[in-house]
A and B are shown apart, each in its own frame.
Chain A
């Protein structure tokens, strides 16, 4: 007895006569039934994948060629590590907050007490263009943080344009306007920690000077400070 071509059966390559004959064969042949069961799964997976990627025109477009993977320069590993890293940054940068940084290093961030992140340094990565930057977060006491954006290699905004900083919640895309970044690529903002905690990223956009108060389509820098704000160790997961 000749076994039918089961792949052809699944793919609809058999004539009506051949297909019904294959059906009759399957009723009597356990070996073919087992084979068909195995083939049916692969066939189902492939058929569905093709249907998904098939364009409205009907043919499956070949997969596009992707640009090279952009360089990622995030050092952050875990909210708790941020506190340590931030403390280390404070020591390295040494901007007169030695006492706060030392007390943080001296304390144990694993204890139940909230990690008093006195100082954090969050990298801003390029979204569009090549420029990068850094946001320094300084605990001002009394639930306030001073955020200083420093992106000296931002190219000139050009006539009729300016750079603007925002707080961003990437989950909901909610944005809070902070203010304009000066021509030197720096700006400082004094923020309430509660407000800071309801966002998790800082975004710098290139805006047209057209009176429109909304965020333009062009983000140039973005960095996540999730886990880096003063009260974050309890609020991030």
Chain B
């Protein structure tokens, strides 16, 4: 798996393929975050501004910082801009609270964590990724997964265990040399 920090460094070097890779890896998670906090109508616009900012200010990326955190910090700022720019804010109070101030930074950081896990999950061998996706994101038991995929229960157990361990390893190397 390409480390996030490496992606950030390539981005700072104006490597357009790094921009594409960053978009492919993190845009879906960023969009999910933005949809929740600025609403579906503006989320795509704010996503675009986020990547525009990331590209423009790529030289400000500090390789000691986690790349996902850097992106979510930008998205968080642009989301706050978007809420402030509204003339007639039609925002749910809970969502606004979770976006602005200290809570907002924490929320963005939590989403950055989740995006990093999602990115690591996508790096797993497809069989393992599929089992973990069904187990965690669809909340199925191993027995239910075996039935769903029509494979022996023992196979599901093996893939689940291997995938879970591999995922932890991927995130571990991803942070090598980086601090949070």
Interface residues of A (CB under 8 A from B): 5-8, 11, 13, 35, 38-39, 41-43, 45-50, 52-53, 55, 59-67, 69-70, 72, 74, 76-78, 125, 127-128, 170-171, 173, 212, 214-217, 222, 224, 226, 237
Contact = CB atoms under 8 A, between A and B. Distances in A.
B94 to A, nearest CB: 9
Given A61-B32, A215-B85, A39 B118 contact: no
Contacts of A173: 80-81, 84-85
Nearest to B163: A42
Contacts, number: 139
A6 B165 CA distance: 12
B113 A72 contact: no
B27 A42 contact: no
Contacts of A128: 45
A158 to B, nearest CB: 19
Given A7-B142, A69-B51, A49 B117 contact: yes
A55 B36 CA distance: 9
Interface residues of B, number: 59
Nearest to A226: B57
Interface of B: 14, 16, 19-20, 23, 27-29, 31-32, 35-36, 44-45, 47-49, 51-53, 55-57, 59-60, 77, 80-81, 84-87, 110-111, 113-114, 117-118, 120-121, 132, 135-139, 141-143, 157, 160-161, 163-168, 171
Contacts of B16: 72
B172 to A, nearest CB: 8
Given A52-B110, A61-B32, A173-B81, A70 B86 contact: no
Contacts of B45: 127-128
A13 B139 CA distance: 11
28 contacts: A5-B142, A7-B142, A7-B164, A13-B141, A38-B164, A42-B164, A45-B113, A45-B167, A46-B121, A46-B167, A49-B136, A50-B137, A52-B114, A53-B29, A61-B32, A63-B29, A64-B28, A64-B32, A65-B28, A66-B23, A66-B27, A67-B48, A70-B48, A70-B51, A72-B16, A72-B56, A171-B77, A217-B85
Contact of B142 (A8, A47, A171, A212): A8
Contacts of A39: 161, 164-165
Nearest to A52: B114
B52 A125 contact: yes
A49 B114 contact: yes
B86 A217 contact: yes
A120 to B, nearest CB: 15
A113 B35 CA distance: 47
B83 to A, nearest CB: 10
Contacts of A13: 141-143
A65 B138 CA distance: 18
Contact of A53 (B32, B138, B157): B32
A47 B23 contact: no
Nearest to A42: B164
